[in-house]
Each structure stands twice: as structure tokens, then as C-alpha cells.
């Protein structure tokens, strides 16, 4: 159970697993976007999509876990605007772990491609639908940029708490009691 002074190992594990997976997937996606169309890009895109499906599954589980445990309270009293901004950022980060994979799935289905996880076909290829592909692409593209910005702000906020406020926020997320 999460408390003000300490998060459970379960909460911490879910946070870091999804954080590293999302950051890696965002970076990998930016790399893929710059690659010219090729067989290698297709292979790498398959890996990106497979990881995205796993992120979606873990993200859905994490959201259920977060709903049961609520958003983490601040370790120290902070101005109301900072609390609201932090809560909004946390909600957006949680939502992003769902809307990025789902929009990627829309892109694939809309493009007439199957949904596979490391070669195992979950949803077969269909005729495709340009509108669905375009909506998925727009959400995926804009969402990636907004998520990268939010991750940067989240990290900067964490560093502020650690080095300026010295309030134990980062220590709590690393498993220490504050």
C-alpha cells in the first residue's frame, strides 16, 4: 500500500517499467520516423509495435492500480498551482501510456496492416481505412511530441524537488522512506 512516506514496491516497479518502456519507445519512434522506408525499417517497426502492445497492457493495469491508490500526494506542501500542474502532468502521462499504443493500433488497422506481437498475429490485416489511419497518425504524432514535453517537465520537476526543495520526492520513487 502506498503511503505519504513510502510507495509500495509494486507501485515503484510499475512506474519505472512503464517509464523506461515509454521513453525508449518514444525515442525509438523518433528514430523510425527519420528512417527511409526499407525492409530494416519494417522489421524495426514490428518491434516498436510489439513493445507498444505490451506497454498498453501494463499501462491499463497501472491505471487500475493508480485508481485504487489515487495520485501520489506531495511529500511537502507546495503552492496550489504546482499541485494542480503536477496532477495534470501525472494524469496526462498515465493517459499517454494508453493513447500512444491505441493510436498506433489505429494507424496499423487503418493502414491495412495486422496487429502482431513479435510475429504472433492478434488482429489480422483488413482492407484498411484512410480516415482511421489519419486520425491514429495525428494522435500518435502530436501525442508523442506532447508526451516528450511532459516527460521533460516531469523530470525537471523531480530534479527541482530533489536538489532545490530537498523534500524526498525522488527518494520515495526510488523506494526509500521519507
Q: Which of 49-53, 110-114, 138-142, 165-169 has the lowest mean pLDDT?
A: 165-169
> How crowded is residue 133: how many other Cβ atoms within 10 Å of its Cβ?
18
**Residues 142-160: b if buried by 16+ CB within 10 A, e if exposed:** ebbeebbebbeebeebeee
Question: How much of the chain is helix, strand and coil, in % rounded to 5?
Answer: 70, 5, 25
Distance CA 168, CA 178 (A): 6
SS3 21: helix
If pLDDT is split at 50, 70 and 90, which confidence band does 109 have? very high
If pLDDT is split at 50, 70 and 90, which confidence band does 75 have? confident
If pLDDT is split at 50, 70 and 90, which confidence band does 5 have? confident
The grid coordinates listed for 113 are: 496492416
If pLDDT is split at 50, 70 and 90, which confidence band does 81 have? very high
Report pLDDT for 170. 93
Average pLDDT for 140-159: 97
Chain-wide mean pLDDT for the chain?
95
Report pLDDT for 163. 97
Predicted TM-score (pTM) of the model is 0.93
Share of the chain above pLDDT 90, in %: 88
The grid coordinates listed for 59 are: 499501462
User: Dihedral of CA 169/5/72/11: which sign?
Assistant: positive
* Sequence-ordered list of residues with C-beta below 8 angstroms from that of 124, at least 6 positions apart, any chain: 114
Kindly state the helix (H) or strand (E) to which residue 123 belongs, with its residue range.
strand 120-123
Residue among 82, 85, 87, 136 at smallest CA distance from 109: 136
> How crowded is residue 63: how many other Cβ atoms within 10 Å of its Cβ?
15
Distance CA 47, CA 55 (A): 12
Amino acid at each position: 500500500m502506498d503511503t505519504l512516506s513510502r510507495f509500495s514496491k509494486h507501485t515503484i516497479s510499475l512506474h519505472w517499467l512503464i517509464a523506461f518502456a515509454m521513453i525508449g519507445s518514444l525515442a525509438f519512434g523518433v528514430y523510425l520516423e527519420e528512417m527511409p522506408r526499407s525492409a530494416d525499417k519494417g522489421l524495426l517497426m514490428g518491434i516498436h509495435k510489439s513493445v507498444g502492445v505490451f506497454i498498453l497492457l501494463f499501462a491499463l493495469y497501472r491505471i487500475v492500480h493508480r485508481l485504487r491508490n489515487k495520485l501520489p500526494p506531495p511529500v511537502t506542501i507546495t503552492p496550489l498551482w504546482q499541485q494542480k500542474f503536477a496532477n495534470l502532468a501525472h494524469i496526462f502521462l498515465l493517459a499517454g501510456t494508453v493513447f500512444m499504443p491505441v493510436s498506433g493500433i489505429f494507424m496499423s488497422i487503418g493502414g491495412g496492416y495486422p496487429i502482431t506481437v513479435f510475429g504472433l498475429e492478434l488482429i489480422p490485416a483488413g482492407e484498411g481505412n484512410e480516415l482511421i489511419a489519419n486520425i491514429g497518425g495525428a494522435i500518435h504524432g502530436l501525442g508523442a511530441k506532447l508526451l516528450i514535453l511532459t516527460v521533460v517537465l516531469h523530470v525537471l520537476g523531480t530534479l527541482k524537488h530533489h536538489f532545490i526543495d530537498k523534500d524526498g520526492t525522488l527518494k520515495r520513487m526510488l523506494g526509500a522512506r521519507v
